Structure 1
């Protein structure tokens, strides 16, 4: 529900607090932002240069995650999330945010540019709110609001993450390990993990965060052909020529979960 996140939100135009007025959020200076029928708030404050995941990708992700294949990632994040307000930057369907909130008696907020994803994230948990916002722009969140920022397979804005995180907070970043889904990469043409990804993550957070350690988690997934096609369909590989498996496959899912403290 958007109401639980209101104390932490600010007007993207002027930085003033927001209050709910029926189907809109408004600030004292009169800037007004619509609440979608599905429950998320549009705080993008202008035209977005990209629209994020498509409806098809989001539907595939919902199907794949609901089946439990990435529960090991969600559980690892929930275990590492301390009490307090949680922001999921790049929330997708809200799967990881909901698992963290199941552990906590706190409210949470998901940010994304995909309207298709936000329609699901807005109802992923009774204490979750969802907001349309571009992670590359100033975020519509007050300073030092979050105890935890979750960032799962999503872009990282080091300066803004530092601004909205409490001094004693934690940033939890999940990235694919170099050999994540290697069997599908080799056989079906999925996009490879960028070999320079670790350097890009370091560069995006340097000066704002200090690394506190990384743990690698992996699972062997035995997928039907349909499940494998759904997995490919929920990733950018679906738009870059990956072929569809016709037989059952065994796949290794392997991720790095890194914790960072603010400088």
Structure 2
């Protein structure tokens, strides 16, 4: 299943390629590509800036973390607004440019619409009320998701660099946020290897389970690591994040669940 981020990236690539194709014989070809470049740049900068401002109490602890965009911390609405504003302002005096953008935008939307519909239907499908994970001894244990408070499930593996980097963040959150239940499900590793890794990192986790065959992650469409799922107090899957989480991006997902 394609993530929202993947859809956005695919859309930008398709749009840029179409505009370049339509403008290939135009005298304004360089103007077209420059405009798209600056629109994307403005969108990314503004999206990151608004995200940082919204979670400034966290980022001010470590200013360098502002530059760590691996956490996926972007405010998409403000980013789209800024990018489209730059695009329209630079093109408003050039009818031909506007024509290129409108045609490319329409084709891109038509191409991605079926994928968006499929993703929406997939994300709104009922979530299971419990999952069966295995303990380190291989015994199955039923984990309830409808427990009256938010649940976070993190799929991870010790060989995964982003998993290793985000683990201390998730461990601290588990220790300090008792109003959220954190569940860690290791993917396809021997328990001794996973436990040895956690000990070497000085990370103490509760609710650690194993998915030796990868069936749990597949059932949720989590095909990359790390993937983190966010469930509301009713046990409904409301959001997901594929990739590394920082303290700020984790709180970005938890805030709506705790209101």
* TM tier, smaller: under 0.3
Which one has the largest radius of gyration? 2
Structure holding more strand per residue:
1
State the TM-score, normalizing by the size of structure 1.
0.26
